[in-house]
Structure 1
């Protein structure tokens, strides 16, 4: 059975929460009508998603459900994201 991408294990949820706290401290808040937050991000090498929360050592590509969640954590802090 494949893992549920919407139900991260506790270790991943904890990592996501730490990322969110760090980003909250680093980035300005989105304020409707007061600012426009724009980000650019090269995800060229992001293909080949593996349906797992972590990767065994040496397995390529190194993209998994944890990576997807971390990209979303960053992306949702901006009004516009250019990929």
Structure 2
């Protein structure tokens, strides 16, 4: 499996750095804990969420990823709601 496949399937993907491409058809929910999260629309250059933690968070928090937004995580554990 490729990096990100487990997270997209709703399973914990531990300590990854990855860019999840946008889903142009629907919004998604991502569960995040770690150092860095960016939810970004490349077309409009709009940041929905941009988090940089000095120390990693240890409990999941959920964030809405609107349709058309990419997700970039660094040193994070993530999963998507399926």
For Structure 1 versus Structure 2, the TM-score category normalised by the shorter chain is: under 0.3
The structure that is strand-richer by fraction is 2
TM-score (norm 1): 0.23
TM-score (norm 2): 0.23
Greater gyration radius? 1
